[in-house]
Amino acid sequence: MISTNEFKTNVTVTIDGDAWQVVEFQHVKPGKGAAFVRAKMRNLCTGSVVERTFNAGERLPKARVERREMQFLYESDGMYIFMDNESFEQIELSQAQLGDALNFLKENMDVKVMTYEGRVLGIDLPNTVELEVVETDPGIRGDTATGGSKPAKMVTGYVVKVPLFINTGDVLRIDTRTGEYIERA
């Protein structure tokens, strides 16, 4: 059991049989009345985000979300094949289960597959990935790092805003949490 006073970002709890992850939380102590915790929570099974209010000190069961290291192998007919690095067991995930992670997924990439009570919830990507630029406008002599930005299409099909000096063929480091360009790799 975990108390609502112990809420932190990414803590998972069980509510109504589903696993919920704390996205944001705030402890509120009004001048009059009892303290409470306001939390924005994401349902790991459906992906919906709701804001809930809990009494301070309320206890909820902790959700046991397992994360197994797996390698992305390939895509076949809209299904994405992952292999467990230890047992070599393979699983298939759909586009819906992967969501925005498809923008950053490359073949042979190691990810963590999240499961809850035998159900696959999705994947945890590393915080940054290195992707190659396959299409962008050419850099022009005199362009500076602080000048502006232009769109660049990555090898996965994802389009990101990059500085003007980036060229086709450059390998870039992209933040998977925000989807923004960080630096050249």
The count of other CB atoms within 10 Å of the CB of residue 44 is: 19
φ/ψ of residue 97, rounded to 5? -70, -30
Residues 47 and 71 in one domain: no
Residue 73 C-alpha from the chain's centroid:
19
Reported confidence tier of residue 144, pLDDT bands at 50, 70, 90: low
What is the CATH classification number for the domain harbouring 168? Answer: 2.40.50.140
Residues 120 and 138 in one domain: no
What is the tally of structural domains in the chain?
Answer: 3
The count of other CB atoms within 10 Å of the CB of residue 32 is: 4
pLDDT, mean of residues 15-23: 87
What is the CATH classification number for the domain harbouring 54? Answer: 2.30.30.30
Contact 6, 59 (CB under 8 A): no
Which domain range does residue 156 map to? 129-184
Residues 7 and 45 in one domain: yes
Whole-angstrom distance, CA of residue 5 vs CA of residue 27:
8
Residues 33 and 70 in one domain: no
Whole-angstrom distance, CA of residue 72 vs CA of residue 74:
6
Long-range CB pairs of 28-32 (<8 Å, 24+ gap) are: none
Is the pLDDT at 146 greater than 70, yes or no?
A: no
The count of other CB atoms within 10 Å of the CB of residue 13 is: 21
Whole-angstrom distance, CA of residue 83 vs CA of residue 147:
44
pLDDT of 40 reads 92
Residues 56 and 89 in one domain: no
- The whole-model pTM stands at 0.71
